[in-house]
Amino acid sequence: MELNESQKQMVEKWVAEGRNISDIQKLLSAELKTTMTYMDIRLLLIDLGLSVKDKATTPARNADLSKAPVAAGDAAAGLGAAGGVHVEVDRIARSNALVSGTVTFSDGVTAKWVLDQQGRLGLEASRPGYRPPEQDVQKFQEELSRELQKHGY
């Protein structure tokens, strides 16, 4: 998708305001009635010589799991509208995956997830043998769907 000069100026303005790629994607759709994938916007920003200040999206890899687990209510309160489940998409997918990322369940346990080329979903929890609470599984699927749509999948 090619943008005209006035549309490019709008994108430049949004970047100057501190908007991230996801915000720009939503604004393009809402204000300019233009649909672009996350990757198309990244490439546009490169062409324009712009860079956005995205917040860090990956959790600390060496998190101390020896501490007491977070109570489900506390985790849900900290994770907001997702109902205690927080899904993130990796910027670069893991090998043999179409897309991958992390999820934090309402009890504070994190897991890595992958979606392969056949559409199969894999989940590897930080705790061996972990099974997320039943209500979290549905929330995870809903949040995963939302996040993938945001990223153009």
Structural domain boundaries in the chain: 5-48, 72-150
The confidence score (pLDDT) of residue 59 equals 45
pLDDT in tens, 34-66: 888 888 888 888 888 888 765 544 444 444 444
**Residue 145 and residue 97: Cα distance in Å, rounded?**
16
Average pLDDT, the chain: 79
pLDDT of residue 61: 46
> What is the four-CA torsion angle of 92, 21, 82, 105, rounded to 10 degrees?
20
Single pTM value for the model: 0.46
| Interval 67-79 mean pLDDT | 42
Does the pLDDT value for residue 128 go beyond 80?
yes
- Whether the pLDDT of residue 80 is over 90: the answer is no
